[in-house]
Amino acid sequence: MQTSNFVLNFSHTSIDLTKKIAVMGILNLTPNSFYDGGKYQTEKNILKQVEKMIEEGVDIIDIGGESTKPFAREISWEEEAKRTIPYIQKITSLFKIPLSIDTYKAKMAKMAIEAGVELVNDISGLRFDPCMAEVVSLNNVFLVLMHIKGTPRNMQDNPHYDFLIPEIISYLKESVKIATDAGINLEKIIVDPGIGFGKILEQNLFILKNLKELEILQRPILIGVSRKSFIGEFLKLPLKERLLGGLAATCVAVIGGARIVRTHDVKETRQAVDLVNAILQSRI
């Protein structure tokens, strides 16, 4: 696959995805996220976590103000903004680290970009809000297009696919077309197969096994498996004991072509993907 244009140029840094795996650290500013909901609710705790992730080698911090775990209720963009914007402004004033906003709402994305965010992580692949593509295009920021079947409220109600990988590729191709038709630069686009978003255990495993097929899209692949339920379901483990399983799945994803990995556990993930990448790029 041709990867010469897989470079993320942010305000204060550039990430060459042909040379390294980018680690995207998760910062959930929500009371009900599936793993760390309610943990980061004060400015002191939030800034301390940002500093910790930077020290551990994070490349991008992905900030979320609404839980998109299965069956989570939708909140307004105003509530989402209330939870995130003041802290985005504070983080950008103190740290030179690229920020991403995990949202599918155009108004929320616009406010986050104005506050300093340089990447929009849209779980719907531009399907939930018809105004999102225009917001991203006008502001020329990076965009993650994720595949989802249904919505967070119903995505785990017996999701069915006739042809899993082809259907994901088709969905993401259409999302890329929506984006480019709106004027979004193709080189700003990242794709994500959406592990756990309308997929059961066997489907998640199959996606990871066949991730390389997504290279047909010719865009950097992002993968997020951190602490997810399929790990606990397979290994029969609670949330707090899913780190090693998540690292194993992440390493498989990197071998399969993922260039950005999204995680709650920056230190451990950084070490794991750097070693895998060194092995893959080794020459004698």
Q: Which residues are marked as active site?
A: 228, 262
Amino acid at 230: F
Asked whether the CA dihedral 245, 249, 252, 257 is positive or negative, the reply is negative
Calpha distance 257→156 (Å, rounded): 26
- Residue 179, CA distances (Å) to 64, 135, 191, 194, 210 in order: 22, 11, 12, 18, 25
Token pair in block for residue 42: 């004060």
SS3 content of the chain, % helix, strand, coil (to 5): 45, 15, 40
User: Would you give the distance in Å from CA 73 to the centre of its chain?
Assistant: 20
* Cα 141–Cα 61–Cα 87 angle in degrees, nearest 5: 90
Write the CA distances from 104 to 33, 44, 88, 124, integer angstroms: 16, 27, 17, 6
Tokens 């951190």, located at residue: 226
Enumerate residues 6+ apart whose C-beta is below 8 A from 133.
Answer: 126, 178, 179, 181, 182, 184
262 sits in which H/E element: strand 258-263
Nearest Cα neighbor of 132 from 103, 157, 158, 92 is 103
